[in-house]
Structure 1
Amino acid sequence: MTDDDPQTADRIRPAVELNNAFVALASSMRRRVLLGVLERSPREERTLSEELAAGRDVERNRVRAQLRHVHLPKLVVTGYVEWNESTGEITRGPAFDELVPLLRVLDGHAEHLPGAWP
C-alpha cells in the first residue's frame, strides 16, 4: 500500500479525527466551552467568559483573552465550533456532532476519570 491508496487514507482519517478530539479535550477550558455549547448553542463569548472565570476564580478579562487567542481558534480549526469574532457568538461547528458521543461518555463518567472534569 502507498500513501495514495484509498484504503490507507480511510484508516488514517479516523485516527486523525480521534486525535483532534483528544487535542480539543486536552484543556479544561476547551472542555468547558464544548460542554457549554452542547448544553446551549449559540453561546455569547462574554457570558461564557464570565462563567468560566467564576468557575476558576480567575479574572474574566484574562479568561476572555485566553479564549480569543488560544482556545476558540483551536476549536474552530477542528470544526467543533464556529465563532464570529465580531459578534462574539459561538455555535456548534460542522464537526461538533462527531464529538458529542465522546463528550457525553466522559461527562457521564466524570467520577471515574483521573483528575478534575471538566
Structure 2
Amino acid sequence: METSIPDVIWDTGMDRVFEALFTRRRRMILFMLKQDSPRQIVDFLPRSVGAQSTETELRHDDLPRLASLAYINWDRAADEVSRGQRFDEIEPMLELLENHADELPDNWPQR
C-alpha cells in the first residue's frame, strides 16, 4: 500500500515557516504584525516581572531569527518591527491557524 504525501511536506519553504512558528513569542509577534504593521518592540513585551529577560530573548533570538527569515523588518534605531519581504509566505499559515483553531481537539497539543 502506497501512501500519498502532499508536495507541501517536501517544500523547504515549510522549514522556514515552522522555524518561525516554533516559539509562542514568535507566533505572537507574527500574529500581531498580521493585524497591524509596523509595531513598536514594546508591544511584544509583557507588562510584568521578568520583562527584562524576555526583552533580552526578544532582541537576541526572536527578532534576529524572524528578520533572517525575512518575515520581519527590524529597525533597531527606531525600535520598530514591520512585515518583511517574505511575510506573504507565512501569512496563509497564520490565517489557517486563526480560522481553524476551534477545529483542533480539546487540550491539543498535550502539555
Q: Quick check: TM above 0.5?
A: yes
Report the counterpart of residue 109 of structure 2 in structure 1: 115
CA displacement at 1:98 relative to structure 2: 1.1
**Count of equivalent residues:** 99
Distance in 2 between the 1:64 and 1:90 partners? 14
Q: Which runs of 4+ in 1 moved over 2 A?
A: 113-116
- Decide whether aligned partners of structure 1 residues 33 and 58 sit closer, same or farther in structure 2, where only a CA change above 3 A counts: farther
Distance in 2 between the 1:58 and 1:20 partners? 32
Alignment partner of 2:32: what SS? Answer: helix
Farther-moved stretch of structure 1 (35-44 vs 14-23): 14-23
The one-letter code of the counterpart of 1:16 is: T
Report the counterpart of residue 37 of structure 2 in structure 1: 41
Whichever structure has more helix as a proportion of its residues is 1
Across the aligned residues of Structure 1 and Structure 2, the Cα RMSD in angstroms comes to 2.0
Q: Percent identity?
A: 29
CA displacement at 1:58 relative to structure 2: 5.3
Taking structure 1 as the reference length, the TM-score comes to 0.75
Are residue 99 (structure 1) and residue 72 (structure 2) matched?
no
**Unaligned 5+ runs, structure 1:** 1-10
**Unaligned 5+ runs, structure 2:** 1-6
The one-letter code of the counterpart of 2:34 is: L
Alignment partner of 2:44: what SS? Answer: helix
Distance in 2 between the 1:115 and 1:29 partners? 17
Taking structure 2 as the reference length, the TM-score comes to 0.79
